[in-house]
Structure 1
Amino acid sequence: MFSRLGNNAARSAALQSRNYATLRDIETRLKSIKNIEKITNTMKIVASTRLSKAERAKNTARTYIANDREVYSHAETAPIETEEKSNLLIVVSSDKGLCGSIHSQIAKAARNRINELNGQKVDVIAIGDKVKTQINRTHSENLVLAFNGIGKETPTFTDAALISDEILKQGKEYSNVEVFYNKFVSGVSFEPTANPIFDAASIEQSPALSQYELDQDAKVPATLAEYSLANAIYSALADGYASEVSARRNAMDNASKNAGDMITKYSILYNRTRQAVITNELVDIITGASSLD
């Protein structure tokens, strides 16, 4: 009899030990999820406060690029057809993550364009570490230049001009230049977009360029081409930044909601486990008391 009681007591003690361990595990997990929810909520608030500033920069940059395109449209500028095709793809992203699929989508659009230009010379310039990493995985032989330190603050034209100057210092000429970026569509969507850039030769041979009062200087087309490149990069940076901040806000909002659901689930599990532990302790007390009678 005493042996049976001893075995029952041992099993009861082992069960209580497992219950207490499970309870501590659930409590630890619950605290961890609550901390994560605080972080994601904070990041959502930060992204929300940055979004209005990002949209203002995006609207300003779009005004610049719209006027730029209007000039070339009136001048009837068109790319010059050459026998040997050489292409430059400038892919704009950033260094920061936690913003959904925004980096992978622009990298995918660039890879698709590289595959379309199969057989032609294609150089890629990556602006932002995220897209650089993804392009480097599949087309490292095409990557000729990369920039980082992108996406920390709202982009300015000065940032774009500095990047443009570094690109021009390469001293390479291309028959086709395209800037790939994430175009801001709405607060919940963006679209990978390509913006072609005209070179100095194409601008110089524009049929209706004479309607503009330009100085008789041979450097004017080259200056316009340099400005257009910086302008396109600025517009891409601003649009991409607005898309990224919006995507990060949405991603953190979803993460906070998921964390809230998990907190509810683990709170219920914690309470049920705690009740089970208390019930087992009461059973043990009653069993022990009855055995003494």
Structure 2
Amino acid sequence: MLSRAARPALRAGAAVSSRAAAPTATFATLREIEGKLKSIRNIEKITKTMKIVASTKLARAQRSMADSRKYGETSNEVFQSAETKPLEGEGKKKLLVVCSSDKGLCGGIHSGLSRYIRRRALEDSNFDIVVIGEKCRSQLSRTNAKDIVLNFSGAGKDIPTFAEAQAIADQIVMLSGAYSDIEIIYNKFINATSYEPTSVAAFSEEAIASSPNFAAFEVDEELLSNLREYALANSLYWALSEGHACEISARRNAMDNASKNAGEMISKYQILFNRTRQAVITGELVEIITGATASADM
């Protein structure tokens, strides 16, 4: 049995030992919060830098888009005047050329193209697919792998050029399938914050030759293949440039939203860190006062 004089000292010692475990856990929590704050601040720096880079590239991408649009629209006006239409025939497939890129971190711009193709497949699945860019290729390979006949990677690393579009057009022309027509799917630039999947037609050589008003242009039959390939390259150049401008704009918006979200998280974690630190200081003061009181009682 302990004496009555020793019991207060024992109780004080037990109180101090029971509270001693609390600061250890609290200090660990403080270090965790501080680590998260540091990580989020680093992410915020990265997203802000990527936003600045995208903003710098956007003006140049829009100028390239405006130039390529002139080529594509002028080329299409020829076929509109000639009243060119796809050839109808049994067993003939369409060829869909999907213009995406290899880069991500730009919102759902590539997913929108993939969803557009899947909706088309529900209506009519009689088509083959050529995919430009790894993003849409990886998405469509999960649902439409059997329809993909050709894919390109490495395009769109920088502003697209007509030489790139011409090289892609050369490979598409050499495909063995007899297609009724070619349809190029791309993201149409509406403004700096919005875009939508759009298609532009590129006709086969037979469809061009069968146009009702094509004779008015007095084009030699030997040159039809060159005209068809040049028109396809023009349309691809237009689609790639417009899709590139949409991608840069979407990346800037995505990085802006990510920076704002990181700022909100930093504010919340900073408040949590301050409250936790205050709790640690308060706990230490209570221990000091308790220990001093216990020593005085003894």
Q: Same fold (TM over 0.5)?
A: yes
Q: Kindly indicate whether residue 225 of structure 2 is the aligned counterpart of residue 222 of structure 1.
A: yes
1:80 positional shift: 2.1
Q: Residue 212 of structure 1: CA displacement?
A: 2.1
Gaps spanning 5+ residues in structure 2: where?
Answer: 1-6
2:257 is aligned with 1:254: yes
Matched residue type, 1:53:
R
Are 1:154 and 2:145 counterparts? no
- The structure-2 alpha-carbon separation of the partners of 1:150 and 1:8, relative to structure 1 and needing over 3 Å to count, comes to farther
- Candidates 17, 24, 27, aligned match of 1:17: 24
- 2:130 matched to 1:130? no
CA distance in 1, matches of 2:286, 2:105: 50
> Which of the numbers 170, 179, 183 marks the counterpart of 1:174?
179
**Residue type at the aligned position of 2:63:** R
> Aligned residue for 2:285?
282
State how far apart, in whole Å, the 2-side matches of 1:71 and 1:212 are. Answer: 9
> Distance in 1 between the 2:103 and 2:234 partners?
23
Letter in 2 for 1:109: Y
Instruction: State which of 28, 44, 54 in structure 2 corresponds to 1:37.
Output: 44
What's 1:241 paired with? 244
Q: How far apart are residue 171 of structure 1 and its match? A: 3.0
Cα distance between partner residues in 2 of 1:131 and 1:262? 32
TM-score normalised to structure 1 length:
0.95
CA deviation string 1:210-261 (max 9, x = no partner): 22243x3x22221111111111111111011000100000000000000000
- Which is worse superposed, 255-264 or 8-17? 8-17
| SS of residue matched to 2:179 | coil
Work out which of the residue numbers 195, 203, 206 in structure 1 matches 2:211. Answer: 206
Q: Is the 8 A contact 2:92 2:178 kept in 1?
A: no
Which has the larger Rg? 2
Mean Cα deviation higher: 167-176 or 230-239: 167-176
Identical-pair percentage: 50
Distance 2:227 2:14 in 1: 91
Equivalent position of 1:91 in the other structure: 98
Deviation at 1:84, TM superposition (A): 2.5
Deviation, 1:207, is 1.9
- Count residues with an aligned counterpart: 289
1:4-27 residue CA offsets vs partner (Å, 9 max, x unmatched): 223222221110001101111111
- In the alignment, which residue of structure 1 is the partner of 2:58? 51
CA contact (8 A) 2:85 2:203 kept: yes
Matched AA of 2:254: A
TM-superposed deviation, 1:117: 1.6
Report deviation, 1:100. 0.6
- Equivalent residue, structure 2, for 1:267: 270
Counterpart AA for 2:132: I
What does residue 78 of structure 1 align with? 85
Moved more, 5-14 or 250-259: 5-14
Taking the aligned partners of 2:188 and 2:177, their CA distance within structure 1 comes to 27
Alignment partner of 1:88: what SS? Answer: strand
C-alpha distance in 1, partners of 2:181/2:118? 16
Q: Aligned equivalents of 1:244 and 1:201: distance in 2?
A: 35
> CA RMSD for the aligned pairs?
1.2
What's the offset of the Cα at 1:195? Answer: 1.2
2:4 aligns with: none
> Match for 1:4 among 6, 11, 18?
11
